[in-house]
A and B are shown apart, each in its own frame.
Chain A
Amino acid sequence: MNPILLAVLLVSGIGLVLGVFLVISNRVFAVKENETAKKIQEALPGANCGACGFSGCSGYAAALAEDKTVATTLCTVGGNDVAARIAEILGVEAGSVASVKARVMCQGHKTARSYTADYTGLSSCRAAAALYNGGSACAYGCLGYGDCVAACEKEAISVCQGVAVVSPALCVGCGKCAAVCPKGIIQMVTEKQVAVVPCANKDKGAATKKACAVGCLGCKVCLKACPEEAIRMEEGLAVVDAEKCVGCGKCVAACKFGVIKMV
């Protein structure tokens, strides 16, 4: 027999046998997949960040397909677009997603803050928090060792001058940084144009002033300046109510220490 023909026949014969074998085993080992869940998963962004509270995009898709009471608006990464698409697939009314971004409630960078000791231990916020706050005079502020930077999968956080800074353009609002911060100073805030008091120091004014040049002293000047009564005092700290704030910026101008910022 022609050796070329034989080789071609042999290889195609093996291919055919294997093909039949695979078709049969595909039937035998078939896995039923939920069509709706598959469609929803395609609509989801696939970031697998866990911001929705499920184990990832596939977990959220499976939960949505099985349980109609699961909200369609839990994906903060995809926002309203994705919520609308999920609602379309499930045939329910679309809701709106409150898009949130992480924000570090401290701006006490190295030159503004005072220190009581030099910390040379483990380069981790959790370790520093356990050892006299890494020598920082402020017991509430950012430690600047970047546990949040390590937690962020989107590389949206960087440490600048000893304070973590979130880049809103990169932040998807998954909240992982807020969970690892030992000081609990990362808050998830709405994207609306509002005034923010980026300080977490609950000490009395004089003690705050000693520890940090840009700490909120609780002087209440901003309270009086706000025409909407959107600012209230909580444990010696001015807090802006994002719902009421109209973004007029009068509090920013009133604060003598330049603590309040617009975001």
Chain B
Amino acid sequence: MLKSLIAVFLAAILTENYVLSKFLGICPFLGVSKKINTAVGMSLAVTFVMLLATAVTFPLFVFVLEPNDLAYLETVVFILIIAALVQFVEMVLKKYIPSLYKALGIYLPLITTNCAVLGVTMLVLEKHAADASYTFLHAMVNALGTGIGYLVAMVLFAGVRERLEDADIPKSLRGLPITLIAAAIVALSFLGFGGIVDGLL
């Protein structure tokens, strides 16, 4: 049990990194990764939403939607729940960390449409359907691991981008083009983790 939980956690961070190997949640990955501290704040907000969303959607799907043959509603219902949770996170941040609230700006409400969050809640259901031993606990650990994987990707990339600021970049590549190229190279380097989790355990 513990071994499988650790495997899920490590896989979510390294081999199945949502940003760098599944390419989900690219918008805030490119938008908020200019500075390391906003990148960390954004990742923590995303992690929090992922955890809450999984905690609500997984039981809802297993105990309400599936028994009533309403599995086809998952996208609609999940988005509804994620949107409400993001609103909630927004209120909390506005009250307790206004500086982070300002720094995140439009990207905070955009977590609603962050496909990484929807991806986390939906892909665990596939795994649950394929293998009954994949329980609610696994889903929660997966959500936490994905959030931390998001943090790792954001912080790594923020470091790369801070270096890019000082580089003499050809005029035609300045701005988004060089950012996308850098993101591709960072993603490529994450390929190196392939199979490492199975090998470890």
Interface residues of A (CB under 8 A from B): 3, 6-7, 10-11, 14-15, 18-19, 21-22, 25-26, 29-31
Among B67-75, B129-137, B153-161, the stretch that binds chain A is: B67-75
CB–CB B73/A31 < 8 A: no
CB pair B92–A29 under 8 Å, yes or no, is yes
Q: B87 near A: Cβ within 8 Å?
A: yes
Q: Are B87 and A22 in contact (CB under 8 A)?
A: yes
User: Chain B residues near A22 (CB, 8 Å)?
Assistant: 84, 87-88
Known A6-B70, A7-B73, A10-B64; contact A29-B80, beta-carbon cutoff 8 A: no
0/1 interface trace, chain B 90-102, chain A, CB 8 Å (1 if under)? 0110110010000
Complex Cα spacing A261 to B159, Å: 49
- Tell me, in angstroms, the Cα distance from A3 to B73 when the chains sit together: 12
Besides A10-B68, A11-B80, A18-B84, 9 new A-B residue pairs in contact (Cβ under 8 A), listed by A number:
A3-B69, A10-B70, A10-B73, A11-B76, A18-B80, A21-B84, A25-B92, A30-B95, A31-B94
CB contacts (< 8 Å) of B115 on chain A: these are none
> Once the chains are docked, how many angstroms separate the CA of A14 from the CA of B65?
12
Residues of B whose CB lies within 8 Å of any CB of A are 60, 64-65, 68-70, 73, 76-77, 80-81, 84, 87-88, 91-92, 94-95, 98
A172 to chain B, nearest CB (A): 22
User: A31 to chain B: which residues have CB within 8 Å?
Assistant: 94-95, 98
| Residue ID in chain B nearest A10 by CB atoms | B70
A7 adjacent to B81 (CB under 8 Å) = no
Give the interface centre of B68, B77, B91 by most chain A CB atoms within 10 Å.
Answer: B91
Q: Which residues of B contact A15 (CB under 8 A)?
A: 80
User: In whole angstroms, how far apart are the Cα atoms of A26 and B95 in the complex?
Assistant: 10
Q: Within 8 Å CB of A30, what residues of B?
A: 95
Bound complex: CA A22 to CA B95 (Å): 14
Q: Which of B65, B77, B91 contacts A29 (CB 8 A)?
A: B91
On chain A, the residues within 8 Å of B98 by CB distance are: 31
Q: Which residue of A lies closest to B96 (CB)?
A: A29
Q: Contact check, A11 vs B73: say whether CB atoms are below 8 A apart.
A: yes
Q: Indicate if the CB atoms of B81 and A18 lie closer than 8 Å.
A: yes
Q: Are B68 and A29 in contact (CB under 8 A)?
A: no
Q: Shortest Cβ distance from A247 into chain B, in angstroms?
A: 41
Residues of B within 8 A of A26 (CB): 91
A10 to B88, CA, bound (A): 22
Assess the B69–A25 pair: CB atoms within 8 A. Answer: no
18 pairs, A vs B, C-beta closer than 8 Å: A3-B68, A3-B69, A6-B70, A10-B65, A10-B70, A10-B77, A11-B76, A11-B80, A14-B80, A18-B80, A21-B88, A22-B84, A25-B88, A25-B92, A29-B91, A29-B92, A30-B95, A31-B98
Q: Are B84 and A7 in contact (CB under 8 A)?
A: no
Give the 10 A-B residue pairs with the shortest CB-CB distance, closest first: A18-B84, A29-B91, A29-B95, A31-B95, A25-B88, A31-B94, A22-B87, A7-B70, A25-B91, A29-B92
Provide the residues of chain B in CB contact with A3, threshold 8 Å: 68-70
Question: Which residues of chain A are near B88, meaning CB under 8 Å?
Answer: 21-22, 25
B81 neighbours in A (Cβ, 8 Å): 14, 18
Bound form: Cα–Cα A183–B176 in Å: 33
Set of chain A residues within 8 Å of B64, measured between Cβ atoms: 10
Provide the residues of chain B in CB contact with A6, threshold 8 Å: 68, 70
A26 to B87: give the CA distance in the assembly, Å. Answer: 9
Q: Which residues of A contact B60 (CB under 8 A)?
A: 14
Chain A residue nearest to B85 (CB atoms) is A18
Residues of chain B within 8 A (CB-CB) of A11 are 73, 76-77, 80
Residues of A close to B65: CB separation below 8 A: 10
Residues from chain B with a CB closer than 8 A to the CB of A19 are 84
Chain B proximity of A7: nearest CB distance (Å): 6
Please, how many angstroms separate the alpha-carbon atoms of A19 and B88 in the complex? 11
C-alpha gap A7/B72 in the complex (Å): 10
Cα of A162 to Cα of B17 in the assembled complex, Å: 49
CB-nearest residue of chain B to A122:
B168
